[in-house]
Amino acid sequence: MRLLACCYNDPEMQIDPDTVYPIRPDCRDDAPKTRFKPRPGLTLSPRRWKLLHNEEGVLDIAGMIKRVQHGGVHPTIKGEVWEFLLGCYDPKSTTEQRSQLRQKRRLEYEQLKAKCREMDTTVGSGRVITMPVITEDGQPIENPNSDGGAAGSEQQNNGAPLPKEVIDWKLTLHQIGLDVNRTDRVLVYYERQENLARLWDILAVYSWIDKDIGYCQGMSDLCSPISIILEHEADAFWCFERLMRRVRGNFKSTSTSIGVRAQLTTLSTIMKSVDPKLHEHLENLDGGEYLFAFRMLMVLFRREFSFVDTMYLWELMWSMEYNPNLFSMLESGTGTSSANTKDESVLGQCGKFERKILQAAKKDDQIPLSVFVVASVIEARNKQLLGEAKGLDDVVKILNEITGSLDAKKACRGALQIHEKYLNTVKAS
């Protein structure tokens, strides 16, 4: 009983997340209100986080996942916890092993950043490029930015033609800058130029290493929370790189389509299975392709939730999708789990959603939890959509009105229920 009283009187658990990520005074009236508050006995606290590690620093991953699924993560330890949730570290690793890997990655990031700096000296300069610095045929644009934002973008090629991959990369730099200058501008954090430049550097380096996709709009929205909660830039970069492995398929595009369309098609199939009446209604309104849900999936609900609540939703989803083999899967590049579906010790370390997937033995073409969360959000507006939506504009209006009113935990709970119903429907068919 004394321990319980201590937990409930813990000053750490009385923190207001909005004081950790303060909003500019002139934006407070327009910014979505934060609903998440750390809850004693539910939220993973700094004290509990320490207790989940043994003397060598090995993490009790099952204990961590259980706590995060119940109440999210305390603001002061989000960075450390997210690194595990996104598979940056093996849960069986010791403190020393993680320290060695961290140093190795930091060195690798500095090497990547140095390479980018050779191609454009704005990288690492504390500035942000917001105007094109090169033409599509590789010719430099001299002093394109009157404020000096691209003044350091000279090419280190001694007049020789630039390789196509360098041209493609340099063509993205101003777009990254434009997006960075629009990202989370309600936060006091981005009033400092060095924080804008840090986000731009991370995205510029990522654009260089991902030759297939490079940079696309929406990536800054995904990277921003990670850049803020992780103190070291290199750690933030690798954490973002892990997140992109989950969602990069959404950004893959061809001349006729973009990758997220595949998830929208899946969403349509799910809604048709679990709520055929609403699906038919949306189809009759020319909304059967669910393009109105495009933004939710591309930036993982960044527009529907406040900054703090978005992070809460993400950690809920990642904990529910967690597989203890995530680190080894990412390191090997297999993308598949070798978990024995009958091994209770392994299943006990999985998140709720992942455990259900493994037990159903349906790892092929696995649907991410985020798609079911979208279905949950739509399903929660069932009566309003059926009763008030007379056209596609009405559907968009109704779903736009949910901003700031959604409960992350309720949305995830609804997603798990829809997933269960969907599995049963598919099994019956």
Domain C-terminal end among 247, 266, 297: 247
CA 226 to chain centre: 8
Whether residue 230 is found in the same domain as residue 328: no
Whether residue 293 is found in the same domain as residue 395: yes
In this structure, of 54-58, 75-79, 160-164, 184-188, the range with the lowest mean pLDDT score is: 160-164
Does 48 fall in a domain? yes
Domain C-terminal end among 203, 222, 247: 247
Q: Is the Cα dihedral 225, 228, 233, 234 positive or negative?
A: negative
Q: Which residue has the higher pLDDT, 321 or 150?
A: 321
Whether residue 202 is found in the same domain as residue 335: no
Whether residue 84 is found in the same domain as residue 115: no
pLDDT over 80 at 361, yes or no? no
Does 7 fall in a domain? no
pLDDT at residue 3 in the model: 46
pLDDT at residue 148 in the model: 43
Q: What angle do CA 178, 212, 226 make, to 5 degrees?
A: 50
pLDDT at residue 365 in the model: 61
pLDDT over 90 at 286, yes or no? yes
Confidence of residue 366 (pLDDT cuts 50, 70, 90): confident
Q: In this structure, what are the phi and psi dihedrals at residue 53, rounded to the nearest 5 degrees?
A: -105, 140
**C-alpha gyration radius of the chain:** 23
pLDDT at residue 4 in the model: 47
Q: Are 109 and 237 in contact (CB under 8 A)?
A: yes
Whether residue 266 is found in the same domain as residue 409: yes
Task: Mention every residue, 6+ apart, whose C-beta is less than 8 A from residue 224.
Answer: 183, 184, 199
Supply the CATH number for residue 115's domain. 1.10.8.270
Does 156 fall in a domain? no
Confidence of residue 427 (pLDDT cuts 50, 70, 90): confident
Domain C-terminal end among 180, 212, 247: 247
Does 166 fall in a domain? yes
Confidence of residue 210 (pLDDT cuts 50, 70, 90): very high
Does 306 fall in a domain? yes
Whether residue 118 is found in the same domain as residue 19: no
Does 147 fall in a domain? no
Q: Which residue has the higher pLDDT, 72 or 11?
A: 72
Range of the domain at 312: 253-428
Whether residue 277 is found in the same domain as residue 236: no
Whether residue 80 is found in the same domain as residue 132: no
Whether residue 261 is found in the same domain as residue 397: yes
Whether residue 235 is found in the same domain as residue 279: no
Supply the CATH number for residue 269's domain. 1.10.472
pLDDT at residue 334 in the model: 67
Does 67 fall in a domain? yes
pLDDT over 90 at 10, yes or no? no
Q: Tell me the pLDDT tens digit for each residue of 227-252.
A: 999 999 999 999 999 999 999 999 99
Q: Tell me the pLDDT tens digit for each residue of 212-223.
A: 999 999 999 999
pLDDT at residue 159 in the model: 64
What region, left, alpha or beta, does residue 54 occupy, with left being phi > 0 and alpha being psi -120 to 50 degrees? beta
Confidence of residue 336 (pLDDT cuts 50, 70, 90): low
Q: How many domains does the chain fold into?
A: 3
Query: What average pLDDT does the chain have?
Result: 90
Confidence of residue 150 (pLDDT cuts 50, 70, 90): very low
pLDDT at residue 51 in the model: 97
Whether residue 354 is found in the same domain as residue 220: no
Whether residue 88 is found in the same domain as residue 117: no
Mean pLDDT (whole number) for 327-348: 74
Q: What whole-number percentage of the chain has pLDDT above 90?
A: 79
Smallest CA-to-CA distance from 366 within 378, 355, 377 is with 355
User: Which residues, listed in sequence order, are joined to residue 53 by a DSSP beta bridge?
Assistant: 59
What region, left, alpha or beta, does residue 74 occupy, with left being phi > 0 and alpha being psi -120 to 50 degrees? beta
pLDDT at residue 257 in the model: 72
pLDDT over 90 at 285, yes or no? yes
Does 152 fall in a domain? no
Smallest CA-to-CA distance from 176 within 225, 214, 233 is with 214
Confidence of residue 1 (pLDDT cuts 50, 70, 90): very low
The highest-confidence range among 14-28, 131-145, 194-208, 319-333, by mean pLDDT, is 194-208
pLDDT over 60 at 340, yes or no? no
User: Which residues, listed in sequence order, are joined to residue 187 by a DSSP beta bridge?
Assistant: 23
Mean pLDDT (whole number) for 307-318: 97
